Structure 1
Amino acid sequence: LTLLPPALAKQVQIATYVCVGAVAVSVWDILNNISLEYRLLTTTKFGFPIVAYILASRLGSLGYVLGFTLLATCPLGRCGLAYRVIVSFYPVALSSICLLFFFRVRAVYGRSRVVTLIFGVLWLGVLGTALTIPFGGDAIPIGSTQYCLISKLVPYVGACAIVVTVHDTAVYLAISYRLVMNTYAVRTHKELFKAVFSGAYLPSFSRSLFVDGQVYYMISVISNIVVTVMVYVNVSPLYRGFLAIPNLALTSAMACRVYRNTKLGLTRES
């Protein structure tokens, strides 16, 4: 840090703290739920959802946040290559998170072909924009050292957070609407609106599903809006992109919690 201007050194220090915090959250989530993870993996039929769960909850998100922590704290050398390898975990994790909710909304609608098509296209949009992320930035060595500094972040990477927000909003509204329409307590448009946005009038199990999805949706949308705003704010590339790290850690943990609770029947106990 002594080789950097004081203002930039402070930014690097703050970003490093954020990375370490994101790793701590991810590791805590693993350790706190390790018994449930074992139960899930040993009782659930192996298929695409469980593969997406593993990629989203462990390999993708943990690789991403841990990689950036190493980039910020260790002399990795070959900074451009290291940056691209680390950021390549992002589309893996993000597309897997959204895939979990694709399977969720598809199940809620009884594998409807129309719903599968609509949300399949939305998921492909998430995947497509996420695949641009590794090419939207770069890192350079700090002076003559092997330590790295993010030097570039192009504006188009913000499109990914926008598409994810649209995807998550569509999933949330679709699932909420379906849960509400399966409830005979809803009689008027006012009650329908209230139920879709608050879970009122829903039976206990449906309300548990609703609340889990609502918590994830609020975290995802708020954090993605903040990430999008930061990408287009006129600040250093370091500040413009570093919030994507805790964003992925939090949304991954929440998405996996929703999936885990549903598959293990824990919503029935809440």
Structure 2
Amino acid sequence: MNSTTTSLPDPYSLPNPFTQLAWLPPDIANQVRNVEFMLAALAGFVVWDVFWSLPEEYKMLSKRRIGPFDVVYVLSRIMMVFFVSTLSIFGRKAVSYSFYFQPLLRKKFLPTVVKYEDCSRQGMVQGWAAGLSTPLTSLLFLIRIRAVFYRNPFIVAFFGVFWLAILGTSLIVPFSPGLKVVPIGDSGYCVNDRLSTLAILGVILAGAFDTLVFLAITVSLLRSHAFNGGPRAWMKMFFTGQGMGSLTRVMLQSGQTYYLATVGFTVTIIALISSPHVSYIYSDSLVPVTAFVSNTMAARVYRKLKLELLKDTVDLGPMVLTTDPLGSSADAMEFQVRTYRNASAISESTAGAPISHEERLGDAVGKYEESSC
């Protein structure tokens, strides 16, 4: 796409120099137009997902006091919408923005940000949107690790450092030379140039992070269930959750759903961007698609677990019986009775007999729920 900025055609030779695609070679123009249609469809999916999730989000956020983890959830959703909006809207001509933002400009709320004819500024906005969206989505699964392994500080610390790596590589995106937004001739429109590997390094690390989170939680849940029957019984439990309690099954199957939905997009985008035989216009367009799928599925997993906790609390009444979390031996377990009053937990411990894994997991996510309030 750099050719559009270095060697411009004669405007008098163009059929319509006021149309941005007229400044591009026909094959490139067709690809850009197809991606515009795809981004418009993606924006529609984002709007649909937001409205579809509202009932669950209202129930999730209204039944309990909003905690820091809920704030992370809300921020991740907002940044996802903003990221897709920057791609779906920000390529338009500056005059349309000056019309919509004129009231704000008079009040000096947006003194320079809306001058979108500055393509480098547009690229900076897109970079910040992408750079914040990726680590916020991954943070939802770091919370999940903390809920399951909160008695194992080494595992929590490992994933915490991994998440910091995602955060660091994502925050360099706005300043990365691999993220460029260039003008389309003299049309006043902008288009994204080819992404470099550095610009998508955060996405690559997020894919590896998701894989390790999925494996760690799955192995922990399956190992905590004793059963006889060999590999076939293990596989049956893995695919169906049979023999697990409701909360354990939700933890397992929601992780499977998320991983299967996102790993394909992540692997595909890495392969296409690395391939010299695929047009970068198409391969780069999969970045926001992958970000949308990852955020949507991570948010769904978070809501499903939170609603399961709320359902269990309602079913069991004000007294919720829980125990110590995963990883301890059965004879070292304790019973803890948590009384939830005004969305806060008071726990009392007494020595007890060996207990089930479902009770141990209930305590693990119970502590997670308590700390998030």
- TM-score of the superposed pair, with normalisation by structure 2: 0.66
Q: Say which of 175, 189, 208 aligns to 2:217.
A: 175
Write the letter of the residue equivalent to 2:79: G
For the residue of structure 2 that corresponds to 1:185, the secondary structure is: coil
Higher mean displacement: 188-197 or 99-108 = 188-197
**What is the alpha-carbon root mean square deviation over aligned residues?**
2.3
Map of 2:333 onto structure 1: none
Map of 1:257 onto structure 2: 300
| CA distance in structure 2 between the partners assigned to 1:191 and 1:74 by the alignment | 60
Please state how far the C-alpha of 1:238 moved relative to its aligned partner.
2.5
2:138 is the alignment partner of 1:95? no
Map of 2:72 onto structure 1: 52
Higher mean displacement: 107-116 or 39-48 = 39-48
2:183 is the alignment partner of 1:161? no
CA separation of 1:111/1:73 partners in 2, compared to 1, >3 Å: closer, same or farther? farther
Map of 1:242 onto structure 2: 285
| CA distance in structure 2 between the partners assigned to 1:131 and 1:238 by the alignment | 23
| CA distance in structure 1 between the partners assigned to 2:169 and 2:243 by the alignment | 38
Map of 2:84 onto structure 1: 65
Write the letter of the residue equivalent to 2:37: Y
Map of 2:166 onto structure 1: 126
Write the letter of the residue equivalent to 1:142: I
For the residue of structure 1 that corresponds to 2:90, the secondary structure is: helix
Map of 2:334 onto structure 1: none
Kindly indicate whether the alpha-carbon contact (under 8 Å) linking 1:133 and 1:157 is maintained by their aligned counterparts in 2: yes
- TM-score of the superposed pair, with normalisation by structure 1: 0.89
Structure ID, larger Rg: 2
Higher mean displacement: 258-267 or 135-144 = 258-267
Please state how far the C-alpha of 1:237 moved relative to its aligned partner.
3.9
2:116 is the alignment partner of 1:116? no
Note the alpha carbon deviations across 1:20-63, whole angstroms, 9 max, x for none: 12211111111112122222222343333112101212x21110
Q: Say which of 105, 114, 117 aligns to 2:145.
A: 105
**What are the within-5 Å matches in structure 2 for residues 206-217 of structure 1?**
206-217=248-259
Please state how far the C-alpha of 1:99 moved relative to its aligned partner.
0.6
2:38 is the alignment partner of 1:18? yes
CA separation of 1:232/1:140 partners in 2, compared to 1, >3 Å: closer, same or farther? same
Kindly indicate whether the alpha-carbon contact (under 8 Å) linking 2:169 and 2:202 is maintained by their aligned counterparts in 1: yes
Map of 2:261 onto structure 1: 219
| CA distance in structure 2 between the partners assigned to 1:266 and 1:35 by the alignment | 17
For the residue of structure 2 that corresponds to 1:264, the secondary structure is: helix
Which protein is richer in helix relative to its size? 1
| CA distance in structure 1 between the partners assigned to 2:166 and 2:250 by the alignment | 27
| CA distance in structure 2 between the partners assigned to 1:162 and 1:185 by the alignment | 37
Runs of 5+ in structure 2 lacking a partner? 1-20, 95-115, 313-373
Percent identity among equivalent residues? Answer: 28
| CA distance in structure 2 between the partners assigned to 1:133 and 1:187 by the alignment | 50
Runs of 5+ in structure 1 lacking a partner? none
Q: Say which of 114, 117, 126 aligns to 1:77.
A: 117
Moved over 6 A (4+): 266-269
2:48 is the alignment partner of 1:28? yes
How many residue pairs end up in the alignment?
268
